[in-house]
């Protein structure tokens, strides 16, 4: 199975995990997917995340991660979409939630990839399915349950 993940850096934030770690976490989230996959993970600062959230969701605030699924793409079905992840927010949340920075990054990368695969957390039943997947993937990395 061919997996192509492009990591783009558009953040001045320090303490960003290596591309290798980011790609490995993303591939872990794809481990139940048996299809070729291609997507971009863009690491951004707060200004770009605010603009993306405002433009695509009509929300005027900064968030930690946004996923942009490509939907049904007949020409390039392997193209899953794009993920934007806000490095300063991830760092701040890890401190506020008393989590290791690496564990929080892994969680947010896995969370974003699961969204590209069609998982959602807007309804309770769907949230339970998505969160259980996240917990299991993080467990294999020896990271604690992020929801406890």
Residues of the chain with pLDDT > 70: what percent? Answer: 97
What are φ and ψ of residue 138, in 5° steps? -65, -35
pLDDT (tens digit, 9 = 90+) per residue, 35-46? Answer: 889 999 999 999
Domain extents for the chain?
A: 3-140
CATH, range 3-140? 3.40.390.30
Instruction: State pLDDT tens for residues 98-123.
Output: 999 999 999 999 999 999 998 887 77
């Amino acid at each position: 199975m061919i997996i192509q993940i492009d990591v783009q850096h558009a953040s001045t934030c320090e303490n960003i995990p290596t591309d290798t770690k980011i790609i490995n976490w993303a591939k872990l989230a794809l481990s139940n997917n048996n299809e070729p996959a291609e997507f971009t993970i863009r690491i951004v600062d707060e200004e770009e995340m605010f603009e993306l959230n405002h433009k695509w969701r009509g929300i005027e605030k900064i968030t930690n991660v946004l996923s942009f699924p490509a939907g049904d793409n007949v020409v390039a079905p392997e193209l899953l979409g794009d993920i934007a992840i806000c490095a300063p927010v991830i760092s701040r949340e890890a401190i506020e939630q008393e989590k290791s920075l690496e564990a929080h990054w892994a969680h947010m990368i896995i969370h974003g990839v699961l969204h590209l695969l069609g998982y959602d957390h807007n309804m309770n039943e769907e949230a339970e399915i998505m969160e259980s997947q996240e917990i299991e993937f993080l467990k294999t990395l020896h990271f604690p349950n992020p929801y406890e």
